[in-house]
Amino acid sequence: MPKRGKKYSEAVKRLEEGRLYEPREALDLIPQLTYAKFDETVDIAMRLGVDPRHADQMVRGSVMLPHGTGKQARVLVFARGEKANEAREAGADFVGAEDLVEKIQGGWLDFDRAVATPDMMSLVGRLGRILGPRGLMPNPRTGTVTMDITSAVKEIIQGKVDFRTDRAGIIHGRIGKVSFGTDKLLDNFYAFVEAIVRARPPGARGQYIRSVTLSSTMGPGIPIDVSKATRQ
Is the residue at 153 inside a domain? yes
Is the residue at 22 inside a domain? yes
Point out the domain boundary residue: 123, 158, 193. 158
Q: What does DSSP assign to residue 117?
A: -
pLDDT, position 11: 84
Same domain? 151 vs 36: no
> Considering its fold, how many domains does the chain have in total?
2
Point out the domain boundary residue: 158, 174, 198. 158
Is the residue at 1 inside a domain? no
Alpha helices in the chain (DSSP H): 6-12, 23-33, 81-90, 98-105, 121-124, 128-131, 149-158, 182-198
pLDDT, position 2: 58
Residues of the chain with pLDDT under 50: 1
Is the residue at 131 inside a domain? yes
Same domain? 194 vs 181: yes
Spatial distance between the Cα atoms of 3 and 177, rounded to a whole number of angstroms: 26
- Beta pairing, strands 113-116 & 75-78: parallel
Is the residue at 220 inside a domain? yes
Point out the domain boundary residue: 158, 176, 195. 158
Q: What does DSSP assign to residue 59?
A: -
pLDDT, position 72: 86
CATH code assigned at 187: 3.30.190.20
Q: Domain range holding 144?
A: 75-158
Q: The pTM is what? A: 0.84
Is the residue at 193 inside a domain? yes
Same domain? 180 vs 133: no
Same domain? 84 vs 118: yes
Same domain? 140 vs 96: yes
Is the residue at 190 inside a domain? yes
189 neighbors 44 (Cβ within 8 angstroms):
yes
**Burial status of residue 222 (CB atoms within 10 A of its CB: 0-12, 13-18, 19 or more):** buried
